[in-house]
Amino acid sequence: MGKPTGFIDYLRELPLDRPALDRLKDWDEFHLHPEEARLREQAARCMDCGTPFCHTGRLLSGMASGCPINNLLPEWNDLIYRGLWREAIDRLHKTNNFPEFTGRVCPAPCEGSCNAGLVADPVTIKAIECNIIDHAWDQGWVRPDPPAFRTGKRVAIIGSGPAGLCAAAQINRAGHHATVFEREDRPGGLLMYGIPNMKLDKRLVLRRVDQLAAEGVDFVTRTEVGRNYPARRLLSEFDAVILCTGATQPRDLPVEGRPLTGVHFAMDFLTANTRSLLDAQQNGRFINAAGKDVVILGGGDTGTDCCGTALRHGCRSLVQLEILPRPPERRAADNPWPEWPKIFRTDYGQEEAAAVFGADPRVYLTTVKRFLGNSAGHVEAVVTVQVKWEKDAQGRYTPREVPGSEQERPAQLVLLAMGFVGPEPGLLEQLQITRDPRSNIFAEPGRYTTSLKGVFAAGDCRRGQSLVVWAFQEGRGAARECDRYLMGHSELP
């Protein structure tokens, strides 16, 4: 522990962001890096607790508490305080294959369970993590490291999102030959097309893909297993298979007017925009929000990403509807530490909307009752209604319409960002994989084994829609169990 009184001597300081109105002019990342002296002060706030909760990685009340990949947070916080950057990246890479991703897009459940948060503000763990890995890349410390030997075993990994990339990295590290199948034109899955460039620069994703390729991982893009590559062929050509297809079936809103033109799933909007940027800096083949009244349904991260994207297009107005009530400013009595704090937060998209339109775009306890269209079949308005949550006969809270609260709002573009309901069924039906009652792949927790011998499952397709860092944990775990299946034992962590 570098400075025993650090959490008393220094206040929590997050890195600065580029001004909201300035960053809306481009698609570049908006977070800035602090000076090293400031970062070392923030690292000094780590208490090196006798019983640290920050890296416990468990579920409390259905949400993550602590780091699911068990990052060695107190260790690299102390190393940064002492200026030992090379040692810090070595400790970080022991548990995290791609810390530049989690350092940017993880909601940091580690900070929610930080012991310093009991008496003051938690340590800025996420910012420190991001700076460690970015510094390591700048110094040339991150290089391809192929395995010293090959086992001759071949493993197919279906999907190149966060779980798939982690599984591929670990399988390759064990000496097996990893082949990653991706149906899109570029690897990366959610990291590539589900998260906008200003939040995660795609050059960071591509350089990790290039590193894995240099280490011996094969990437097969534009190939959808189960459609243009027979699913059963996997079982004959590979010694094992790891399914990391994600939970990509979006939740729909089957109300009057849903088929109208201009009502889109959020991922279609975000994916087309990123592909257009990567292809030719806005080649025109995307869903354009310019000059339109935009209504977003959903108050989570995906809804926020839609806000930021629509604002960069130059939308005329922006409303983000959330069916749940506004969270409290501080932890409620039924949400104690070290649970994830369910409190009110303003993310980058809402901050940018407030800078443009003068107010937070979110409207709580509200949903859409129907869509209205013009004579050409294009959406032109949404009819919203307020709700209140009441218990039904079974004691479950259910939203009920508030009589007389209907309101018509202009909308030429509606984006459905209400989460996902499970993995797409095609491949799973072809393989006749057993699924759980929520339609996810049934695979034993901790072992990741499916109903087919030699076939494993990890990430959102197994556990349902979740955090990137849980996908990392599952990809690494499935690789370990796959290695054990192939070799009879495993030395993977």
Residues 252-271 pLDDT 10s: 999 999 999 999 999 999 99
> Where is the domain boundary, 394, 418, 442?
418
Do residues 80 and 39 make contact, with C-beta atoms less than 8 angstroms apart? yes
SS3 state at 471: helix
216 and 162 inside one domain: yes
Per DSSP, what are the bridge partners of residue 179?
Answer: 156, 218
CB atoms within 10 A of CB 330: 9
Check pLDDT > 70 for residue 2: no
**What's the pLDDT score for residue 281?**
65
Confidence grade of residue 282 (pLDDT, cut at 50, 70, 90): low
**What's the pLDDT score for residue 395?**
87
Check pLDDT > 90 for residue 51: no
What is the tens place of the pLDDT at every residue in 459-474? Answer: 999 999 999 999 999 9
Task: Look at the chain and report how many structural domains it folds into.
Answer: 3
Residue among 327, 320, 326 nearest 298 (CA) = 320
**What's the pLDDT score for residue 4?**
85
473 and 443 inside one domain: yes
CA 55 vs CA 74, 88, 166, 219: distances in Å: 9, 16, 19, 32
- The mean pLDDT of the chain is 95
Q: How far is CA 293 from the centre of its chain?
A: 27
What CATH number is attached to the domain comprising 391? 3.50.50.60
Q: Specify if 379 maps to a domain.
A: yes
Give the residue-averaged pLDDT of 136-145: 97
Q: Specify if 148 maps to a domain.
A: no
What is the tens place of the pLDDT at every residue in 69-113? Answer: 999 999 999 999 999 999 999 999 999 999 999 999 999 999 999
Confidence grade of residue 47 (pLDDT, cut at 50, 70, 90): confident
133 and 165 inside one domain: no
411 and 275 inside one domain: yes
Residue among 43, 47, 24 nearest 34 (CA) = 43
Q: Contacts by 474-477 with C-beta closer than 8 Å and gap 24+? A: 474/163, 474/448, 475/162, 475/163, 475/164, 475/165, 475/166, 475/167, 475/170, 475/242, 475/244, 476/69, 476/97, 476/166, 476/167, 476/170, 477/446, 477/448
263 and 388 inside one domain: yes
328 and 406 inside one domain: yes
Output helix, strand, coil percentages for the chain, rounded to the nearest 5.
35, 20, 45
By CB atoms closer than 10 A (0-12, 13-18, 19+), residue 484 is: middle
Confidence grade of residue 360 (pLDDT, cut at 50, 70, 90): very high
CB atoms within 10 A of CB 259: 10
271 and 290 inside one domain: yes
Check pLDDT > 80 for residue 280: no
- Give the separation between CA 18 and CA 23, rounded to whole angstroms: 6
What is the share, in percent, of the chain residues with pLDDT greater than 70? 99
CA 226 vs CA 163, 184, 231, 477: distances in Å: 19, 14, 5, 25
SS3 state at 265: strand
**What's the pLDDT score for residue 449?**
97
**What's the pLDDT score for residue 371?**
98
Per DSSP, what are the bridge partners of residue 177?
Answer: 154
SS3 state at 399: strand
Give the residue-averaged pLDDT of 350-371: 98
Q: Specify if 144 maps to a domain.
A: no
Check pLDDT > 70 for residue 1: no
Host domain of residue 195: 154-248+421-487
What is the Cβ-side half-sphere exposure of residue 124, based on CA atoms within 13 angstroms?
25
Q: Specify if 492 maps to a domain.
A: no
Is the preceding omega at residue 325 within 30 degrees of 0, hence cis?
A: no
Residue among 10, 487, 5, 450 nearest 231 (CA) = 450
Give the residue-averaged pLDDT of 319-332: 96
Q: How far is CA 47 from the centre of its chain?
A: 28
Q: Specify if 57 maps to a domain.
A: yes
SS3 state at 90: helix
Q: Specify if 493 maps to a domain.
A: no
Cβ neighbours of residue 474 under 8 Å, at least 6 residues apart? 163, 448, 458, 459, 462, 463
Give the residue-averaged pLDDT of 158-185: 98
**What's the pLDDT score for residue 398?**
93
**What's the pLDDT score for residue 444?**
86
Overall pTM surpassing 0.85 (yes/no): yes
174 and 280 inside one domain: no
CA 282 vs CA 188, 200, 261, 310: distances in Å: 20, 18, 21, 13
Tokens of residue 380, six digits: 């032109």
338 and 231 inside one domain: no
> Where is the domain boundary, 418, 443, 477?
418
* Distance spanning both ends of the chain, measured CA to CA: 26
**What's the pLDDT score for residue 369?**
96
- Give the separation between CA 104 and CA 423, rounded to whole angstroms: 25
Do residues 458 and 448 make contact, with C-beta atoms less than 8 angstroms apart? yes
354 and 451 inside one domain: no
What is the share, in percent, of the chain residues with pLDDT greater than 90? 91
Q: Specify if 147 maps to a domain.
A: no
What CATH number is attached to the domain comprising 98? 1.10.1060.10
Confidence grade of residue 440 (pLDDT, cut at 50, 70, 90): very high
> Where is the domain boundary, 381, 400, 418?
418
What is the tens place of the pLDDT at every residue in 214-231? Answer: 999 999 999 999 999 999
51 and 197 inside one domain: no
323 and 350 inside one domain: yes
Q: Specify if 467 maps to a domain.
A: yes
